[in-house]
Amino acid sequence: MRGILTLYIDQYGAPIWAWTVSELRQKSGGGRVARMYVDKVSGPNAGRAVHCGYVIGSRWFSAFRPIEVPA
């Protein structure tokens, strides 16, 4: 998720906007960074694990990207 403005929400509901993972790490207080995955139950990726955010220190962040859809 490099170089794309992304909204990260931690397990407590605190939002952080960041362009890169290093910026997210800095804003969240630092710590070891690991990717977070979720197992998909339905859809085109059913039965697969997909990357959904990051774990930094003792906090985990779900990633959300803004999209624009024509009206």
Q: Please report, for residues 17, 37, 59, 69, 71, the alpha-carbon distance to residue 62 in angstroms, rounded to integers and kept in the order given.
A: 12, 10, 10, 22, 27
- pLDDT tens-place string over residues 31-43: 999 999 999 999 8
What pTM value is reported for the model? 0.84
Residue 66: band (very low, low, confident or very high) from pLDDT cuts 50, 70, 90: confident
Per-residue pLDDT, 43: 87
Question: Half-sphere exposure of 53 toward its Cβ, with a 13 Å CA cutoff?
Answer: 20
Per-residue pLDDT, 2: 64
